[in-house]
């Protein structure tokens, strides 16, 4: 097991300890997808944003070949979920592109590959007591960047949340907050340049570190992509010390 660096903050130490009681599940089965749908409804209703999902709480994009839906389980209970898209110049399905197509096309036309998190939802009855949920729910986006050797991790969010992504993910603003017509509210587009800040990100937040085996379990798919949902144990505490520098395309 890797030792925890002495300069690791108390917050990061706490989240590394919490990881011992956390597991991820890549949602593949219809039963687990129904659980995700119920959690999305519960979370969006609590925050009065159900109208932002006019096509329903499950849509065709959830089943795209480059989409990965994850559930975060704490002591065996589903507490949050996120959907990730691996976006490439040849496969441009992206939640963010629905609001800011020109910005996304500009990145892809430059040959960049992107990780686009979407459909974040957390159990509103648990978020008040579990302030770490956003960090660990979004952790798969960093694991995805490592696995796919992606150039950017996107953050498509409401302007009040931009400070969080700038502080935690060292995100830059690509599109300042403005009305997204397909949502009817102001949204902003940000991106983390993982090539430039990957080492700094993993040093500051070692709970984002992942092993190659965890990356494969999260994102590798065989010919049959609809196998039973895979349960994945996070590996941040088990990556040999000094090897995390290879986890992101630095």
Model confidence at 184: pLDDT above 70: yes
Q: Give percent of the chain with pLDDT exceeding 70.
A: 87
Using one digit for the tens of pLDDT, what is the confidence trace for 131-164? 999 999 999 999 999 999 999 999 999 999 999 9
Nearest to 116 by CA among 160, 61, 54: 61
Q: What is the pLDDT of residue 228?
A: 57
pLDDT, averaged across the chain: 88
Model confidence at 129: pLDDT above 80: yes
Q: What is the pLDDT of residue 4?
A: 41
Residue spans per domain, the chain: 10-219
**pLDDT mean over 92-105:** 94
Q: What is the pLDDT of residue 27?
A: 93
Q: What is the pLDDT of residue 230?
A: 76
CATH code of domain 10-219? 3.40.630.30
Contacts of 73 (CB under 8 A, 6+ apart): 22, 23, 24, 25, 79, 231
């Amino acid at each position: 097991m890797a030792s925890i660096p002495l300069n690791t903050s108390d917050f990061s130490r706490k989240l590394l300890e919490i990881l011992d009681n956390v597991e991820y599940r890549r949602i593949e089965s219809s039963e687990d997808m129904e659980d995700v749908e119920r959690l999305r409804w519960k979370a969006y209703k609590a925050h009065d944003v159900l109208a932002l999902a006019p096509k329903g709480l499950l849509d065709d994009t959830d089943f795209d070949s480059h989409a990965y839906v994850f559930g975060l389980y704490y002591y065996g209970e589903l507490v949050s979920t996120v959907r990730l898209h691996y976006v490439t110049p040849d496969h441009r399905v992206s939640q963010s592109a629905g609001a800011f197509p020109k910005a996304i096309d500009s990145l892809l036309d430059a040959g960049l590959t992107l990780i686009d998190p979407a459909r974040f939802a957390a159990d509103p009855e648990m978020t008040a007591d579990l302030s770490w949920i956003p960090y660990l729910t979004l952790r798969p986006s960093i694991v995805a960047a490592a696995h796919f050797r992606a150039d950017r991790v996107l953050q498509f969010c409401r302007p009040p949340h931009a400070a969080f992504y700038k502080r935690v993910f060292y995100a830059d603003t690509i599109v300042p907050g403005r009305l997204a017509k397909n949502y009817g509210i102001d949204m902003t587009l940000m991106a983390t340049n993982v090539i430039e800040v990957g080492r700094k990100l993993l040093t500051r937040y070692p709970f984002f570190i992942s092993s190659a085996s965890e990356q494969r379990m999260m994102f590798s798919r065989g010919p049959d992509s609809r196998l039973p949902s895979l349960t994945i144990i996070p590996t941040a505490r088990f990556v040999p010390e000094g090897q995390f520098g290879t986890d992101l395309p630095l």
